[in-house]
Amino acid sequence: MLTAMQVQEKADEIRMNGYALLPNVFSAEQIATILARFDVLLEEKRAKEPTNRGANRFQMHLPFEPPFADALLYENPDVLAITENLFGPDQILTYFASDTPFPGSSYQAVHLDCRLPFPEAPFGVPVYSVVLNMPLVDFTEENGPLELWPGGTHMIAQPKDLERLAAQMPSVRLLPKAGDLLLRDARVWHRGTPSNGSRSRPNLALVYSRGWFRFEGQPYRMKIPRATFAAFSPRMKAICRYCAILEADGCISDVTL
Ligand SMILES: O=C(O)CCC(=O)C(=O)O
């Protein structure tokens, strides 16, 4: 567990730089179990659907079930302490998915993961949405690491010529290890890079936001099995209040608290 001072430091890193790393959260055994199941699901998807994030790159929603739905991931005390420091007590979890380049993938366009509440304003507002990434393999220079533009891109208006500006600004290619967690402000400019690795490079993604923030144009809703939701802590139930409940018969219901 992080100390109160460490939580403050990590939250401030996100405020200032746009991201922070939490090293060694998951063991090699836990990662191996998650990766084995992940590879099966993604191969099934690849066999029946075209790529949905450019050449040899897949976005895939994850079922809220083991081994993915592990409280160490979705209710991680350090992560929630950091997001609570950033957001205040009211936060929501609305996204549980993954991004995976395969060898032969190319550069993505530089992008933000959420819209800006005041797009016309020349300056940013405090952090309101954070992506939690969980690499399932070590990121290396070869396997298409995530490239970020830290140092303030989350705090400015979204320029029309994002790609041109990004080319003039310093970026970092993050190389977290499998088992580490990455927290990044959803506004930070970023892109996936080309992979020449020996296998795919899965990166799980969860999104936590202030209670009032909504992603637009997302028909997708996280579905949590009824029994899993019933076993949640009161805090986690509130965090998941905009998710859907997956009933035993496959029907979907709204959450009632
Ligand atoms: O490469 C990654 O892990 C993230 C990719 C990404 O930003 C996206 O697909 O929107």
3-state secondary structure of 35: helix
Residue 245 pairs in a beta bridge with: 224, 253
Q: 53, 100, 141: which to mutate for ligand 1, most atoms within 8 A of CB? A: 53
Share of the chain above pLDDT 90, in %: 93
* Mean of per-residue pLDDT scores for the chain: 96
Q: Does domain 4-220 have CATH number 3.40.1350.10?
A: no
Number of H helices, E strands in the chain: 7, 12
CA of 96 to the centre of ligand 1 (A): 13
Q: What is the per-residue pLDDT across 138-184, written as a single tens digit (0 to 9) for each?
A: 999 999 999 999 989 999 998 889 999 999 999 999 999 999 999 99
Q: Considering only residues 189 and 122, tell me which one the structure prediction assigns the higher pLDDT.
A: 189
Q: What residue's CA is closest to ligand 1, atom 1?
A: 192
- pLDDT class of 218 with cuts at 50, 70, 90: low
Mean predicted confidence (pLDDT) in 209-218: 89
3-state secondary structure 97-163: EEEEECCCCCCCCCECCCCCCCCCCCECCCCCEEEEEEECCCCCCCECCEEECCCCHHHECCCCCHH
pTM, two decimal places: 0.97
Look at residue 194 in the predicted model and tell me its pLDDT.
Answer: 97
The answer to whether the beta carbons of residues 110 and 162 sit under 8 Å apart is yes
Interior CA angle at 212 toward 111 and 230, to 5°? 105
Q: In the chain, what are the domain boundaries?
A: 4-220
144 Cα nearest atom in ligand 1? 1
The finding on whether 53 has its CB within 6 A of some atom of ligand 1 is yes
16 CA from centroid of ligand 1 (Å) = 22
Q: Which amino acid, residue 158? A: Q
Q: How far is CA 22 from CA 2, 9, 81, 185, 186, in A?
A: 10, 12, 12, 14, 17
For residue 60 and ligand 1, the question of a CB distance below 6 A is answered with no
Whether residue 255 has pLDDT greater than 70: yes
- d(C-alpha 185, C-alpha 57), whole Å: 22
Measured from the Cα of 59, ligand 1's closest atom is 9
State how far the Cα of 233 lies from the Cα of 221, in Å rounded to an integer. 20
Rounded mean pLDDT of 240-245?
97
Chain mean position to CA 123: 24
Compute the distance from residue 189 Cα to the ligand 1 centre, in Å. Answer: 11
Any atom of ligand 1 within 6 Å of the Cβ of 99? yes
SS3 call for 83: helix
Alpha carbon of 60 to ligand 1 centroid (Å): 11
Cα separation, 154 vs 212, in Å, equals 19
What letter would DSSP give residue 156? Answer: B
Residue nearest to atom 5 of ligand 1 (CA): 192
Q: Is the pLDDT of residue 203 over 80?
A: yes
- Alpha carbon of 146 to ligand 1 centroid (Å): 7
Quote the CA–CA distance of 97 and 205 in Å, as a whole number. Answer: 5
| 32-90 residue pLDDT tens | 999 999 999 999 999 999 999 999 999 999 999 999 999 999 999 999 999 999 999 99
Q: Of the residues 203, 204, 218, which should be mutated to test ligand 1's pocket, given the most ligand atoms within 8 Å of the CB?
A: 203
Q: Is 52 in the pocket of ligand 1 (CB under 6 A)?
A: no
